[in-house]
Structure 1
Amino acid sequence: MKSASFFDLDELERDPYLRAVEAVAAASRVGPLYLVGGYLRDLLLGRGRARRIDLDLVIWGKPELFGRDLATALQGSLIRLEPETVRVIVRSPIGVEDRSIGMIVQIDISRSKGETIEDDLTLRDFTVNAMAVRIDSSDPRPPTPDTLCLIDPTGGLNDLREKRLRVLAPSAFDRDPLRLIRAIRLAAELGFTIEETTRQWIIERASLLGTVAGERLRDELFRILDTVPTAPWIEHLDVLQLLKVLVPEVEALKSVPASTPHRLPLWEHSLQTLESVELLLTNLGQLFPEDALWLRERLSREIEAGVTEAAILKLLGFLHDIGKPETRSMLPNGRVRFLGHEQAGLPILTRLCERLRLGRRATSLVTDIERHHLRPIHLPSRATVTARAQYRFFRELGDVAPVVLLHSWADLLATIGGEAEEFSRHQVFLREAFRFYRTEFLTSQVKPIVRGDDLIEAFGVTPGPFLGFALDRLREAQATGLINSREEALAYVQEHLDSWQQSFEVLPS
């Protein structure tokens, strides 16, 4: 990492985003123009750029005028955030014509909050974000390494060296309570330690997190969930009294002791399940070699902006038993049960999704994992798991089934440990289940041997609900190997059509 005396002007000059901004600033005759915040911090740390580039600029002119010029030059769009702040969004790399490249450049332009840049910096959040460099060509100072130095009035560079996150003042949390959770997110992403006084100020003001808009909370929480490892930072959220503001029901988990077959008390089990999810995600290739590629691709896809299936899987890692405290009961023989805890957890998790302003798809994934998370653990407890049982499992769960299976691996590992024979059997079951899903179930759904028109023509079946019922029975027979050709399928229908009709007529409406 560089210090101020080693700050490399050439590195700034090579940066295409800053070059583009400087060119527009020169043409617009913008006065002092400073780069501040996280982008500068990451340059100093030598961190690689992500698919999203966030620049923070400070000027003394009118942000909207400069923002309009910048948006025009970079073929971006302008958004007004506050009276003195605008945002320019460019949906491809600066200087690259191909708009299909998945890069987003976000440039926030703010009017200085003080008479000098030092005044502005002292009103920011953390010392590592309270540094600046002047980047406009109208800087009257000669561009030498001695004079183009880092502006660092609060000691941010030293905190970078020490890998320490320090808030500038407790009032920073009062001005924007989102900074309470942002402290954990920054520490998680940077691998920093939160300074002790900052930790105390967070605890004292934790309740303020409840006043923050859900969308802003969602972004910070899911960036924490994207870090590796995640579990220590969820513990930080808990210790610093923030987690109970997000999910008040978490506190009740801590009062539930271990009970057979669980090795750990409930809260420790929840954290251990999250750690097991991370172990699973890191070792997919070793655990499920035939399925690792498509599982990785699926888990890394965004359900909505900033929310991946992997992050949802982590979220349910430590919240899947959130309904247990209210369903705990003890039998006369001392056995503890939690009947219906997965149903009891649904309204709690639904409220959390609403609080975080999660969309329909993300909310459905959360609630579907919760609703079904016990099913894969109960299924292989039978003597044999038939192809029909596997087919009906995948049919009933639908697209969420693979994620539920992965969750069950982590949950059972946290419950009984990897040395238990039951866990070894579950590992074998999961490998077979993924094989069946990939080679049999999906094929029966995508390439059925016969279709509805065939049944209408051959047997006079009327279009309607019964036709769908019969087609599902055929897909099940195809997936389980009972039929392998059109001729066998039609013969199978001839044999079972009457019994299907009788079964369909007694189904509840």
Structure 2
Amino acid sequence: MDFILKELKRVSIEKDVKIYVVGGYVRNLILNTPSEDIDCVISERVEEVVNTFADRLSKKVISLGEEDKLYRIVDKNNNIQIDFTSMKGNSIEQDLFKRDFTLNSLAVDVYDLDNYKDKIIDPTNGLEDINNGIIRHVYDDAFIDDPIRMLRAVRFMSEFNFRLHDSTKRLINKHKSHIKKMPGERITQELFKILNNKNTSYYFHFMEKELDILQEVFPEIIEMRDVGECKYHVVDSLTHSLYTLEVIEDIIYADNYFEEHIRRAYENHVNEEISSNHSRLSLIKMGAFFHDIGKPSAKKVDKTGRVRFRGHEITGAEIVKSIAERLRLSIKERDLLYKYVSKHMYPLVIYKSNDVSGKTLYKMFSELKNDTLDILLISLADIIATRKLLDPKEDMGKYKVFTEYLANNYLTRFKDIEKISDVITGREILENFQLDEEVMIGDILEEVKKAIYNGKVSRRKKDVLKYIEDIL
């Protein structure tokens, strides 16, 4: 980063132009937080200055908008992104007055960065707001000019543990409907930064209760406020879903909730990157929040007057698929959310049937595959969120022990046989038994895996070949 800043300073002097480092980089300097991005404002001859700087770094210039003179240079080796734009207005102060929040309306001339503390340009009192932990809008049309700033305000709250100024809260309430106009990918960008926070449930609750913007992002949740209360639920579906998200975070971030080997397995599993820097953990949180989104469309009242929601997991899965597509999530992410919602009742069905036989568990693990731990976690949070509201003193130990039993079986018995190419391959089966290519080798391999899981045959190749000979 020091090399980048030195080159910016050198180009500023050589070209006799003002280059200001603005926004997040200056804010993070004050907060002693690392930065991977630098935003720069150039007083004049922007394209010429950017090209000169790019030549020094032997990098390409990416144009983000010729008309607005927006340019980007990416240094992949050092994971640094530098954005350049022309100055809006006749001075850097006028430029800063058009930014989103006061904590981002700060600038330092690159020439002064070595002793920046006394050289910060701060026309909106951003330093005072940072010191007081406040997020405040800069100008009254800030959310009309860019509605995504409403979500960004919450994201900054979650990142810095700051509070939202009352005037900003009122302004978001006033202009909340504008969020609907935003492209899905921009909403997703801010949303996943909130999901990355350890206290996502608090900020989802804040968006719902304080800002009333959660329904603008997910209009599908509006009907959830009016359904859900039944024999097992004493609150509406949306309240339950927000509580489920809170419970799942309590479980995920607890130090000693599960047995140590299960905790380690979860820790490694949830940190997997699914796509576009979105972790499995973020999607699990979304799955927990959306698990009952199908209840309004599945609501039925039987002959006795009892409210039922049979099939809500199926209708909910279709709804969450549409949400994923609207947010421009990847196909893998979309399918994962679909699976979370459609299968979240699976563990509870097994629990109620009191059937943990090898046949039943193998069938479940075969269907859920690598997402087994995720769905066990969502199911556990769902049950705790339900039962704790019915009876706050109820001991949830039984369902937790049941969940750990399933997780243990999956980790110690099923995971070892998900791939058995180290024991036997389809090609070896064809060669050893002179089978035609048309024979369903996949079915034979599935029978082998099932037999190993149930203890009918060992993992030794000779035993597996003998077993195949017998079943053929």
TM-score (norm. length: structure 2): 0.91
Q: Distance in 1 between matches of 2:363 and 2:30?
A: 55
Matched, 1:483 2:453: no
1:18 is aligned to: 5
Q: Tell me which amino acid in the other structure corresponds to 2:120.
A: L
Of the three residues 352, 377, 383, the one matched with 2:323 is 352
Query: Offset at 1:172?
Result: 1.3
Whether 1:81 and 2:70 are equivalent positions in the alignment is no
1:243-254 aligned at under 5 Å gives the runs 243-254=214-225
Q: 1:210 to 1:454 in 2, by over 3 A?
A: same
Match of 2:204 among 221, 234, 246: 234
Displacement of 1:76: 3.8
Q: Which structure 2 residues correspond to residues 454-473 of structure 1 after superposition, within 5 A? A: 454-464=428-438, 466-473=440-447
Question: Which residue matches 1:91?
Answer: 76
Structure 1 residues 479, 62: closer, same or farther in 2, change over 3 A?
farther
Quick check: 2:15–2:49 contact (8 Å CA) kept in 1? no
For 1:163, the aligned partner's letter is G
Gaps of 5+ in 2: none
Q: Which residue of 2 aligns with 1:435?
A: 408
Tell me how far apart the structure 2 counterparts of residues 402 and 376 of structure 1 sit (CA, whole Å).
11
Secondary structure at the aligned position of 1:290 is classed as helix
The 8 Å contact of residues 362 and 453 in structure 2, kept in 1 or not, is answered as yes
Contact kept in structure 2, 1:246 and 1:352, CA below 8 Å: no
1:408 lines up with 2:391 in the alignment: no
User: 1:77–1:476: structure 2 CA closer, same or farther, 3 Å change rule?
Assistant: farther
Find out whether 1:302 has 2:269 as its counterpart. no
| C-alpha distance in 2 between matches for 1:218 and 1:144 | 37
Following superposition of structure 1 onto structure 2, how do residues 94-243 of structure 1 map, counting pairs within 5 Å? 104-136=79-111, 148-239=118-209, 240-243=211-214
CA contact (8 A) 1:126 1:167 kept: yes
Structure 1 residue 307, shift from structure 2 partner: 1.3
> Cα RMSD over matched residues?
2.4
**Which of 234, 238, 242 pairs up with 1:267?**
238
Instruction: Assess if the C-alpha contact under 8 Å between 1:77 and 1:90 holds in 2.
Output: no
Shift of 1:59: 0.8
Whether the aligned pair in 2 keeps the contact of 1:300 and 1:309 (CA below 8 Å) is yes
Report the CA distance between 1:81 and its aligned residue: 1.2
Q: Does 1:54 align with 2:37?
A: yes
Aligned to 1:386: 357
Once residues 77 and 428 of structure 2 are traced to their aligned partners in structure 1, the CA distance between those partners, rounded to angstroms, is 49
Counterpart of 1:324 (choices 295, 299, 315) is 295
Shift of 1:58: 0.8
What SS does the corresponding residue of 1:58 show, helix, strand or coil? strand
Deviation at 1:453, TM superposition (A): 4.1
The code of the aligned residue for 1:381 comes to K
Deviation of 1:287 after TM superposition, in Å, equals 1.3
Which residue pairs with 2:448 in the alignment?
A: 474
In 2, the alpha carbon distance for the partners of 1:467 and 1:355 equals: 39
Change (3 A) 1:358 1:144: closer
Secondary structure of 2:365's match?
helix
Work out the CA distance in 2 between the residues paired with 1:67 and 1:144: 24
Confirm or deny: 8 A CA contact 1:167 1:198 kept in the other structure: yes
Of all paired residues, the percent bearing the same amino acid is 29
Deviation, 1:493, is 3.6
CA distance in 1, matches of 2:336, 2:291: 12
**Deviation per residue, 1:221-275 (Å, 9 max, x gap):** 1101111211121122223232112211111111125322234332221011100
Question: What amino acid is aligned across from residue 280 of structure 2 in structure 1?
Answer: E
- Displacement after TM superposition at 1:438 (Å): 2.4
Q: Label 1:257 to 1:471 Cα distance change in 2 as closer, same or farther (>3 A).
A: closer
Counterpart of 2:254 in structure 1 is: 283
* 1:362 paired to 2:347: no
Quick check: 1:71–1:89 contact (8 Å CA) kept in 2? Answer: no
> CA-to-partner distance for each residue in 1:7-55, whole Å, 9 max, x for gaps?
xxxxxxx9554334324444x52511111101111111222x26xx111
Matched letter for residue 376 of structure 1? P
The separation in 2 between residues aligned to 1:290 and 1:444, in whole angstroms, is: 19
Deviation at 1:144, TM superposition (A): 7.3
For the Cα contact (< 8 Å) 1:33–1:134, is it kept in 2? yes
Unmatched 5+ residue regions in structure 1? 1-13, 94-103, 498-509
Residue 378 (structure 1) shift:
1.3
Query: How far apart, CA to CA, are the structure 2 residues paired with 1:407 and 1:91?
Result: 37
Q: Give the partner amino acid of 2:426.
A: G
Secondary structure, aligned partner of 1:391? helix
Q: Distance in 2 between matches of 1:388 and 1:325?
A: 34
SS at match of 1:177: coil
Preserved contact between residue 24 and residue 73 of structure 1 (Cα < 8 Å): no
Structure-2 separation of matches of 1:144 and 1:415: 56
Quickly say closer, same or farther: Cα 1:180–1:494, change in 2 above 3 A. Answer: same
Q: CA deviation at 1:429?
A: 2.6
Structure-1 residue corresponding to 2:399: 426
SS in 1 for 2:230: coil
Q: Map Cα deviations across residues 328-381 of structure 1 (whole Å, 9 max, x no partner).
A: 122233432111111111232122111111111111111111111110121122
Paired AA for residue 56 in structure 1: D
1:219 aligns to what SS in structure 2? helix
The normalised TM-score by structure 1 is 0.85
Distance 1:89 1:378 in 2: 51
Report SS of the residue matched to 1:446.
coil
Whether the 8 Å CA contact 1:222–1:306 is kept in 2: the answer is no
Which AA in structure 2 matches 1:434? A
